[in-house]
Structure 1
Amino acid sequence: MADEFQWPARFVDLKRELAERFAGADYETRLTDSWRDLLGELALRTKEIAAEGPNHIPQVRFDELDKLTPEQVAVIRRKGSVVIKGVVDDKEAEGWKASLEEFIKTNPDIDGFPEGDMQFFHLYWTRAQVLARGHPNVLKASAWLNNLYHLGGGESIPGVDMSTPLVYADRFRIRHPGIQWDRHPPHVDGGSIERWEDENFRQCFAEILSGNWRKHDPYELKDRLNARSSLYGRPGQATVFRTFQGWLAMSETAPTQGTLKVFPDVHISNAYTILRPFFRPTVPFSSPDILDASSWVFDISSPSFPGIVPRETGFHGPRPTPELHPHLRLDETMTSVPKVNPGDMVFWHCDVVHSVEEEHTGTGDSAVMYIGSVPKCPQNDAYVKKQLETFLAGVNPPDYPKLKEGVKYTGLGAESDLVQPISRVAMGFA
């Protein structure tokens, strides 16, 4: 268990270093004042989120992305989540699902879970996945999302082009009704303890750490480009910069049908997640006063980072829980995305707290293909180059555990499946 983990003493030094470097000599006062202000704002925001439910998640049409008003775009940025309708023709998306089901029948040595009734598949290069990731509309949606990020001052950085999307190979699920999942509780991907420990990654949260959480910009690009999200080489930890994570629906999926849930306010959840390790409650977590700001004090004497979980060779999370992160009110604020149809896509900012519904109460499969938004930059270019080699060899991508020795799949995608120039550039062929 995470609470039994003996945190290295060096993490006490890390907390003090962060406080002194970013908040200055009076760091305790500055961070305490900021924490109290944050808790007051959280009380208001969480009430609003809980009241609105799935209607809180923005929905837009793919063919209207370039027509959205600045106000509409600002809402998407703030909430960090969006449903983009009609990215791909529904029949084409349904055809990909049928193709994947045929692939599963043809290849008996597939890895995934749960055992006995596999529904989440550690597959990356099926023809359907290659076609979906290389679809021009999917890549154009990715580029649109990439361009929600910006460089302060309007400067440019050599080798960075937010309008050139790249492919990051990921997996898919075909979830069956009536099966309970507990694999994906609320969590944040794309870096764990690295958010505090890595020199570049921590700069993304400099305003929060300095006591100015309201000035934090989750879409500031500069320090994201060189942030190291994997310091410990843990298998399955993404090493690329994804502006947004996402998936493409291959079936109809609605709330309570095993869909995605998000905490739809990336600004405020970032502030809380980053500051939480610097404060501890003075009352039991079960106390009715746990949400009161007066029940929390600044304390950097402990090396623990609540919500960060040791796993394999490194760390997993942040993984906020209702007990350890009470002010997020996760039981009420984790919001199911609205109903989607085949060909719709759902995206969430790389810092968004998200989970998967434990229950699937529908009558049909809930099938999605994971496709994130990845911009062209030196770090991502280097990964895509290595990833291309694995594609051509028919083996698992660099960020994931190796394919079982001796296993070869029939029916994988090939270079010939990528015809459009935008698709070939995204896969690293150009």
Structure 2
Amino acid sequence: MALHIDDLPAAVRAAKRELRSMLPDYRERFAQVQAAMIDEAERIAALRARGEPVIPEIRFEDIVADRVSAAQIALVKARGACVIRNVFDRALVEQWDREIADYVERNDLDTKLQNRAEDKYFGQLASSKPQIYGVYWSKPQVLARQSAELTRARVFLNRLWRAQSEGRVHFDPERVPVYADRLRRRPPGSESLGLSAHCDGGSIERWIEPNFRKVYRHVFSGNWREYDPFDAAWRTDVEEIASPAVCSMFRTFQGWTALTQQGPGDGTLQLVPIANSMVYVLLRALQDDIAEDDLCGAMPGRALSIKPEYHAPLFHALSSIPLMQPGDTVFWHSDVVHAVEDAHRGKGYSNVMYIASAPACAKNDAYLKRQLPSFLKGNSPPDFPADHFEAGFIGRATVGDLTPMGRAQMGLDL
């Protein structure tokens, strides 16, 4: 279900009154959180300044061989992100990139993009949006999503979560449903096409919607050190405000697969690799310098903006991901702050396929039933602007391109 709010300022004022009454020492608690965030952000910044990696890296072959160490897993859970190397063979991915370029050009997508629907999801961010194409059903995207390799990687990521807690089973980590998402094709030399820092998966809902409050129950009760970003309790029950490009599935990790080589300076992804940084964001909005009807600029149906004037400590940790090769993937926790560099100063295209990690649960199964007709018709999926560019495209994927695993992941067998 979608959350509907008639009088937003009144709802925000009421939420802040209630949350403060539940946490009368909200100032002191926030001071503790702020000190902890400053320390962690400065530690990450120091590592980065020394040229040491701040985003954990895992080899896909180690996932397959079940030899990812406990220390590696602990670091991924602390940072809320990881790069997984060599998920796909480089030659295969380079072929996919050529096929996507041909698919886009053959169907004259650039002309159609001039009439695209505006989702306004990033509308309040200082930087607008990178060159993201409303393409979901090219054969390379469908093949990558249903691949045994990426499925194995996403099951590994799903298992990092506590799928059972509070006396309930929240999801099945072994089943990986498809969440069809878009492409980025960013030419060299593009300027001011990035995204300023933000979080996806809920904006004002995090303070207002009852199940979101249960997700962050330890934060709002003052026991913020007990908050576990990887506890799935209540996350599959939250309700979002409906809006184009607002994800209504539960994703354990957002992610993308590199189609081309790209790294720092190439208009690539940046992360604040602190898994529990949402604690800071939530309590910051309750402080006395924020207007009673304001949540640090959070707006309904939009990305949750993270701003220097409110969240300055987090920006010390904002770091570009390392150099990626075709076939590498990067994943980040659904609450992790992320951004995209404004300028692409590299020499080649910076291309990715957005493919997240999501587990099977009632919330996600319900979305599959809504998404399936979009695949069959070549339309844009329910969470995205209704452009429906691909309905008449030559060469888009069809049911005949699905493997048995692909059929199950698409929900054809539900």
TM-score (norm 2): 0.89
CA contact (8 A) 1:113 1:119 kept: no
Aligned equivalent of 1:241: 250
Determine what percentage of the aligned residue pairs are the same residue: 35
Residue 177 of structure 1, CA deviation = 1.0
Cα RMSD over matched residues? 2.2
CA contact (8 A) 2:274 2:336 kept: yes
Tell me, yes or no, if structure 1 residue 257 matches structure 2 residue 257. Answer: no
Tell me, yes or no, if structure 1 residue 82 matches structure 2 residue 77. Answer: no
Matched position secondary structure for 1:315: coil
CA contact (8 A) 2:166 2:233 kept: no
Q: Which amino acid aligns with 1:198?
A: E
Using the alignment, how far apart are the partners of 1:105 and 1:397 within structure 2?
22
1:337-416 counterparts in 2 under 5 A?
337-403=321-387, 408-416=392-400
Aligned equivalent of 1:211: 222
Q: Which amino acid aligns with 1:50?
A: A
Matched position secondary structure for 1:218: coil
Residue 182 of structure 1, CA deviation = 3.8
Aligned equivalent of 1:291: none
Give CA-to-partner distance per residue, 1:303-342, whole Å, 9 cap, x none.
1010413xxxx332321111122232x1x32100111110
1:143-158 counterparts in 2 under 5 A?
143-151=155-163, 153=165, 155-157=167-169
Give CA-to-partner distance per residue, 1:270-293, whole Å, 9 cap, x none.
111111111144xxxxxxxxxxxx
Residue 161 of structure 1, CA deviation = 1.1
Q: Which amino acid aligns with 2:212?
A: F
1:63-212 counterparts in 2 under 5 A?
63-65=61-63, 66-109=66-109, 111-112=112-113, 119-151=131-163, 153=165, 155-157=167-169, 160-212=171-223
Tell me, yes or no, if structure 1 residue 304 matches structure 2 residue 294. Answer: yes
Give 2:24's match in structure 1, choosing from 28, 34, 56.
Answer: 28
Using the alignment, how far apart are the partners of 2:230 and 2:213 within structure 1?
14
CA contact (8 A) 2:155 2:175 kept: yes
Residue 49 of structure 1, CA deviation = 1.3
Using the alignment, how far apart are the partners of 2:389 and 2:43 within structure 1?
51
Give CA-to-partner distance per residue, 1:236-277, whole Å, 9 cap, x none.
11110011000000111111111100000021x111111111
Matched position secondary structure for 1:245: strand
Residue 428 of structure 1, CA deviation = 1.1
Which shifted more, 407-416 or 98-107?
407-416
Task: Provide closer, same or farther for how the CA distance between residues 350 and 336 of structure 1 changes in structure 2, counting only shifts above 3 A.
Answer: same
CA contact (8 A) 1:307 1:324 kept: no
| Runs of 5+ consecutive residues of structure 1 not aligned to the other structure | 1-5, 282-298
Aligned equivalent of 1:275: 283
Q: Which amino acid aligns with 1:326?
A: A
Give 1:423's match in structure 2, choosing from 388, 396, 406.
Answer: 406
CA contact (8 A) 2:19 2:220 kept: yes
Task: Provide closer, same or farther for how the CA distance between residues 359 and 251 of structure 1 changes in structure 2, counting only shifts above 3 A.
Answer: same
Aligned equivalent of 1:44: 39
Give 1:55's match in structure 2, choosing from 49, 53, 56.
Answer: 53
CA contact (8 A) 1:176 1:365 kept: yes
Q: Which amino acid aligns with 2:405?
A: I
CA contact (8 A) 2:378 2:388 kept: no
Using the alignment, how far apart are the partners of 2:12 and 2:233 within structure 1?
26
What is the aligned length? 388
Using the alignment, how far apart are the partners of 1:256 and 1:206 within structure 2?
39
Using the alignment, how far apart are the partners of 1:206 and 1:154 within structure 2?
12
